[in-house]
Amino acid sequence: MRLFIYLFVITALACANAVSSDPIKPLPIAVEYDRKKAELGRALFMDPNLSADRSVACVSCHSFDHGGADPRPVSIGSHGNKGVVNAPTVYNSYFNFRQFWNGRAKDLKEQAKGPLHNPAEMGMVPEEIERYLRGSDFYTEAFRKIYGRAPTHDDALDAIAEFEKALITPNCKFDRFLRKETKLSKLEYRGYKLFKTLGCATCHNGINVGGNSFQKMGLIFQYPWREGLPDRYDITNSPADKNVYKVPTLRNIELTAPYFHDGSVKTLELALKKMAYHNLGFDLSAEEIEALVAFLKTLTGETPRIIGESR
Amino acid sequence: MRRLILKTTAALIAALIGIVLIIYQQSYLKSSFHDTEKIGDSFRALHTDYIALQRIVLQASYFPYFDNDTILSQIEKIRERLDGLYKERRLQRAVYSETRSELQSAKRDFEGLAKTIYEFLTLNASLKNSTVYLPTLALKAYEIFDIHSEHDRQVTVLLSKINETLFLAKNALDKSFLEEVKEYKKELEELKKEVSENDKRRLLQASIGHLDLFLKIFPKFREDLEEILDLKFQKELESAIGLFSEESKMEMGHINTLSDLFLTLYLISILVVIYFIFRSEKENIELKRVRDQLRKSLVTDHLTGLENREAYVVKKRMMAHPALILVNIDRFKHINEFYGSKTGDAVLQKSAEILKEIVPKYLKAHIYRLGGDDFGILYEFKSRERTESVIRQILKHFQEKTLDIEGILVDISISIGASYNDKLLETADMALKIVKSSKRLRYTIYDPSMDLSKTIARNIRALKQLKQAIAKGDIIPYFQPIIDLGDGSLNKYEALARMRTQSGEILGPAHFLDAAKEAKLSGEITAAILRRTLNIAEKCNMTFSVNISAGDIMNIYDRNTIFELLETHRGCSSRIVFEIVESEDIKDYDILGEFIGRIREFGCEIAIDDFGSGYSNFEKLLQLQVDILKIDGSLIKELDTNEHAALVVQTIVDFAKAAGFKTVAEYVHSKNVLDKVRSLEVDFAQGFYLGKPSPILQCEPQRDND
């Protein structure tokens, strides 16, 4: 009984509160970050010497030409090693509640360790990284200036994380719509409404249009599952967590093909169809897909300034 | 002194400790209150944040779509608050152990809760997915299914019922609807069997899938939501708050105990300081009393109760123009000797009393006993007239005063000397001395012309030197030759007294003769010269004249010394001539006659020295039967220039010839004088022209070759 009254009161309050609020929030125009650290981080981010065979850098799989993501279905690391999942975009990743597909890293700094040390990716150990950095006059000088000591593994991660923090894509059309600076086209607006009514927004919400909860791929019709994929089950071993992933961001989605954790889908249309089938149990009409795609394209923001400057 | 420093240091340290303790306590209390308030605020904020989180979760469950970021950021906020509280410096103290352990379990529980919320978010999305999409499917069913067909109508009706039930179930969080949903699902599955069209089958399959999902998820969803909305964590927080307030009260109790202790210590330190102050003040008072007593006894004359000379010195220094009246009791020594010192003391006491009584009050004078029978009256000088009138008053009182001392009547009189000059006491004393030596004066006020002090000082110095010289045998004779003018031979010398000082200087009699006479030492000088001359005369066959004063002859002791000396030098005593200065000092011619009679027995001759300088009693001279007249040098040295002097000398020579005396001319300082002396037929001559006094002398008689 008490629960009901509680519910009722809270609901009444919440309604008044939430009427005008959209489930999506615009990105800030800029974030505060340490400029010098970020610039050092950028150099590290682009440096293939941080991989075992000096063939890949962070940027190899988080391409600035592909919305901070990897255009290949799965990433290819040093010595040509293939990964198991598609690299998620590094853009706006600062706003994700956890990092990686299954959220095993709590922040960017922790995340940066993953690919650096993963034998299938860059395959380095901290000592190797430090040895390399200390052997370089540029890094020795830069680290001394910023951190007041010789380069360390931890400081390198810190610099990379600071750079990634700066990788935001503000002022997408939809953000400007949210800020009432512009209007959406009819099609786009219809897409937004469908996005909400079809239930997309229940998972894809917040500042990153996703990235703030774990959800199951294949609620209605099961999505193929195999052992070894980095889903929640990989961490919890609870059967209910099979195919449960961190909801990916939909920002810059038109740039970050291929889609899904396995990079199995090349186009937005197909991705929408697949999501509708597996999680709604129904097919979207062509008009619905058209509208949703139009809406999704309004989520493409500006290239992060720190990249623009470097070019 | 060391004790004092020790005590002061102890008191200071005690006070310092007290102050430090109180400051410490104050700052401790302040920071305690501040911390307690801060922690209390944090707890309250935590509570509020938690309730807000519950509210947001409810919103998320209620609204079809919701920004999950708000939930996540709220969780983060609470997590940080809990961490901050747990790490709060104050809570690290042992006294807050229970609060801390409660906080720790709250942290643990909150992490569990956060996990539940993450799960809730997953379930909530799925559930909403279905509850949003099932009505969409129902709507689509109207398009696909033919409502005129009984079967298809049943499908659409069933889908509507399902939607209604799901809505109720979800919004009321009521599990009891699940059975109905299950029934509907079965019905739907039954109906599906009769459907052959592909699109209809797909729709029904999707609907069944959603229902399945709902049935599977809803109980867990409900459970999670209930857990999230449960008051367990809230109660845990409340319990932590309660524990904190209890434990902080406990700590306050400790602080208060500590503060009581500090206050006690502080009070003790104050008491210690007060004790020391009291002690030292008491000692001070006692010391002051003793000091005053000592000073009084130091500056008081015990006999008369008057202040003494010390007091006089101190007081005088403080005065601008001091004047002193010095009162001396005449012949006090005599009173003391006559009546005894007891009576003498009583005389002094009475005199002091009288003085105290009669010195006018307006003078604001201080009365002192300055010496044995000297009283001093010290006051600020106004005028000579006033001083004189006061002196007269005092004299009037003491005039012909007879004191009754225990029946003995003592007559006293006083003399007064006064001064308002510098060197007050000395000058007043000088004035008093003048009064004393005068028969007529009763008082006098010092006048600089009376100043004998320089002479006195010189005399004292000369006297000291003289006494020393006598004692050390430094009174020695210098010999001046006396030439016989008849044949120019030298067989006489005058022995002149000289004093050899410590530095070896030889001084003439002018330097010491006055002092010698004053101190009655001239007899000793005479004796010393005689002794040395006699010793020389023993070896040297010459005649020596030696000066002797009338005073020496009058003194029986000196007289006898001379006789003894002559006696011991019998062999040469006949070659001694005694030169006597004819003067007023010859009071008793009988003694002189007797003396001359005695020395004649030794063969000595008598010369009258400085003859013609004063008034000479020719008759007495004749009676005394002197042998030689030494004509006064002041006449001789002017012989060549002063006719009058020549006349006097001529007269003396004539008189001497008539009387049978030989004559000697002194102070012959030039050839002219010598020629004149010769022409006047003086028998002998001496002087610088003829020979200066010298310690060395010629012993063989010599004749003058001219």
The verdict on B205 touching A (C-beta cutoff 8 Å) is yes
Q: Which CATH number fits domain A35-165: 2.60.120.10, 1.10.760.10, 1.10.10.10, 1.10.1580.10?
A: 1.10.760.10
Q: Closest approach of chain B CAs to the CA of A138, in angstroms?
A: 38
HSE value, Cβ hemisphere, 13 Å, CA-based, for A92: 29
Please give the residue of chain A at the shortest CA–CA distance from B126. A219
Residue B549 and residue B671 in one domain: yes
Residue B93 and residue B198 in one domain: no
Per-residue confidence (pLDDT) for residue A21, from 0 to 100 = 66
Per-residue confidence (pLDDT) for residue A6, from 0 to 100 = 45
Please report residues of B whose CB lies closer than 8 A to that of A23. 65-67
pLDDT at A8 over 70: no
Per-residue confidence (pLDDT) for residue B2, from 0 to 100 = 73
Q: Which of A94, A116, A275, A134 is closest to A200 using CA atoms? A: A275
Angle at CA of residue A62, ends A61 and A67, nearest 5°: 130
Angle at CA of residue B94, ends B89 and B95, nearest 5°: 95
Please report residues of B whose CB lies closer than 8 A to that of A208. 69
DSSP structure class, residue A258: S
Q: Closest approach of chain A CAs to the CA of B18, in angstroms?
A: 48
Whole-angstrom CA distances from A258 to A71, A267, A288, B413 are 6, 7, 21, 150
Specify the higher pLDDT residue, B622 or A290.
A290
**Helix, strand, coil share (%) of chain A residues, nearest 5:** 50, 5, 45
Residue B197 and residue B213 in one domain: yes
| Predicted complex ipTM | 0.82
User: What residues make up the domain containing B184?
Assistant: 127-229
A220 and B62 in contact by Cβ < 8 A? no
The verdict on B133 touching A (C-beta cutoff 8 Å) is yes
Percent of chain B whose predicted confidence (pLDDT) is above 70: 96
Name every residue whose Cβ is closer than 8 Å to that of residue B279 and which is 6 or more positions away in sequence: none
Q: Closest approach of chain B CAs to the CA of A240, in angstroms?
A: 10
Supply A92's token pair: 């706006």
Please report residues of B whose CB lies closer than 8 A to that of A197. 64, 132, 136
Alpha carbon B421 to its chain's center: 34
Q: Closest approach of chain B CAs to the CA of A78, in angstroms?
A: 35
Domain membership of residue B546 (yes or no) is yes
- Give the separation between CA B410 and CA B398, rounded to whole angstroms: 12
Please give the residue of chain A at the shortest CA–CA distance from B75. A97
- Phi/psi zone of residue A67: left (φ > 0), alpha (ψ -120 to 50 degrees), beta? left
Per-residue confidence (pLDDT) for residue B655, from 0 to 100 = 87
Residue B701: asked if its preceding bond is cis (omega within 30°), the reply is no
Residue B347 and residue B425 in one domain: yes
Please report residues of A whose CB lies closer than 8 A to that of B118. 213-214
Burial B323-362 (b: 16+ CB within 10 A, else e): bbbbbbbbebeebbeeeeeebbebbbbbbbebbeeebeee
Secondary structure of B614-677 in HEC code, one letter for each residue: CCCCHHHHHHHCCCEEEECHHHHCCCCCCHHHHHHHHHHHHHHHHHCCEEEECCCCCHHHHHHH
Please give the residue of chain A at the shortest CA–CA distance from B210. A220
Please report residues of A whose CB lies closer than 8 A to that of B66. 18, 23, 202, 205
A282 and B140 in contact by Cβ < 8 A? yes
A282 and B202 in contact by Cβ < 8 A? yes
Q: Closest approach of chain A CAs to the CA of B11, in angstroms?
A: 54
Question: How far from each other are the two terminal CA atoms of chain B, in whole angstroms?
Answer: 94
Q: Closest approach of chain B CAs to the CA of A194, in angstroms?
A: 11
Catalytic positions of A are: 121
Specify the higher pLDDT residue, A289 or B342.
A289
CB count within 10 Å of CB B589 equals 13
Please report residues of A whose CB lies closer than 8 A to that of B199. none
Question: Which residue from A196, A207, A221 is facing B69, i.e. has the nearest CB?
Answer: A207
Q: Closest approach of chain A CAs to the CA of B268, in angstroms?
A: 56
Please report residues of A whose CB lies closer than 8 A to that of B125. 202-203, 213, 215
Class of domain A173-297: mainly alpha
A215 and B68 in contact by Cβ < 8 A? no
B373 in Cβ contact with B328 (< 8 Å): yes
Please report residues of A whose CB lies closer than 8 A to that of B229. 3, 6
**Can you spell out the DSSP letters for A1-26?**
-HHHHHHHHHHHHHHHHHTT--SB-P
- Give the separation between CA B380 and CA B214, rounded to whole angstroms: 128
Residue B313 and residue B400 in one domain: yes
Burial class (CB in 10 A: 0-12, 13-18, 19+), A279: buried
Residue ranges, CATH 1.10.760.10, chain A: 35-165, 173-297
Supply B548's token pair: 């002797």
Please report residues of A whose CB lies closer than 8 A to that of B218. none
Question: Which residue from B59, B62, B125 is facing A213, i.e. has the nearest CB?
Answer: B125
The verdict on B206 touching A (C-beta cutoff 8 Å) is yes
Question: Which residue from A7, A18, A215 is facing B122, i.e. has the nearest CB?
Answer: A215
Per-residue confidence (pLDDT) for residue A20, from 0 to 100 = 43
Amino acid at B395: L
Domain membership of residue B235 (yes or no) is yes
Domain membership of residue B218 (yes or no) is yes
The verdict on B72 touching A (C-beta cutoff 8 Å) is yes
Residue B533 and residue B551 in one domain: yes
Please report residues of A whose CB lies closer than 8 A to that of B55. 10, 13-14
The angle, 0 to 180 degrees and rounded to 10, between the axes of the packed helices A2-18 and B198-229 is 110
CB count within 10 Å of CB A294 equals 18
Domain membership of residue B466 (yes or no) is no
Question: Which residue from A4, A17, A214 is facing B122, i.e. has the nearest CB?
Answer: A214
Q: Domain ends where: B239, B264, B286?
A: B239
- Give the separation between CA A56 and CA A50, rounded to whole angstroms: 8
Supply A187's token pair: 């099609």
A282 and B118 in contact by Cβ < 8 A? no
B124 and A202 in contact by Cβ < 8 A? yes
Question: Which residue from B67, B125, B226 is facing A25, i.e. has the nearest CB?
Answer: B67
- Give the separation between CA B83 and CA B378, rounded to whole angstroms: 95
A281 and B205 in contact by Cβ < 8 A? yes
- Give the separation between CA B544 and CA B535, rounded to whole angstroms: 11
The verdict on A220 touching B (C-beta cutoff 8 Å) is yes
Whole-angstrom CA distances from B208 to A105, A259, B167, B184, B186 are 37, 28, 16, 9, 9
B206 and A11 in contact by Cβ < 8 A? no
Residue B115 and residue B134 in one domain: no
Residue B538 and residue B671 in one domain: yes
- Give the separation between CA B573 and CA B575, rounded to whole angstroms: 5
The verdict on A244 touching B (C-beta cutoff 8 Å) is yes
Name every residue whose Cβ is closer than 8 Å to that of residue B299 and which is 6 or more positions away in sequence: B307, B308, B310, B311, B314
Secondary structure of B207-268 in HEC code, one letter for each residue: HHHHHHHHHHHHHHHHHHHHHHHCCHHHHHHHHHHHHHHHHHHHHHHHHHHHHHHHHHHHHH
- Phi/psi zone of residue A179: left (φ > 0), alpha (ψ -120 to 50 degrees), beta? alpha
Residue A143's pLDDT band (boundaries 50, 70, 90)? very high
Per-residue confidence (pLDDT) for residue B455, from 0 to 100 = 64
Per-residue confidence (pLDDT) for residue B75, from 0 to 100 = 94
Residue B53 and residue B167 in one domain: no
Q: Domain ends where: B206, B229, B252?
A: B229
Domain tally, chain B: 4
Q: Could you say which residues of chain B have pLDDT below 50?
A: 704-706
Amino acid at A128: E
Q: Which of A219, A266, A265, A272 is closest to A243 using CA atoms? A: A219
Q: Domain ends where: B183, B201, B229?
A: B229
Residue B55 and residue B135 in one domain: no
**Dihedral angle, C-alpha B612, B616, B619, B625, nearest 10 °:** -60
Residue B180 and residue B61 in one domain: no
B128 and A199 in contact by Cβ < 8 A? yes
Residues 47-66, chain B, touching A (beta carbon < 8 A): 55, 58-59, 62-66
Question: Which residue from A198, A212, A221 is facing B68, i.e. has the nearest CB?
Answer: A212
B467 in Cβ contact with B681 (< 8 Å): no
B133 and A10 in contact by Cβ < 8 A? no
The verdict on A202 touching B (C-beta cutoff 8 Å) is yes
CATH number at residue B491: 3.20.20.450
Per-residue confidence (pLDDT) for residue A7, from 0 to 100 = 44
Report helix, strand or coil for A32. coil
CATH number at residue B386: 3.30.70.270
Q: Closest approach of chain A CAs to the CA of B58, in angstroms?
A: 7
Q: Where are the alpha helices (DSSP H) in B145-172?
A: 150-172
Q: Which of B493, B547, B511, B534 is closest to B694 using CA atoms? A: B493
Number of H helices and number of E strands within chain A? 14, 2
Angle at CA of residue B467, ends B461 and B470, nearest 5°: 140
A205 and B66 in contact by Cβ < 8 A? yes
Domain membership of residue B468 (yes or no) is no
Best of B58, B69, B201 to disrupt the A interface (most A CBs within 10 Å) is: B69
Residue B91 and residue B136 in one domain: no
Q: Closest approach of chain B CAs to the CA of A6, in angstroms?
A: 9
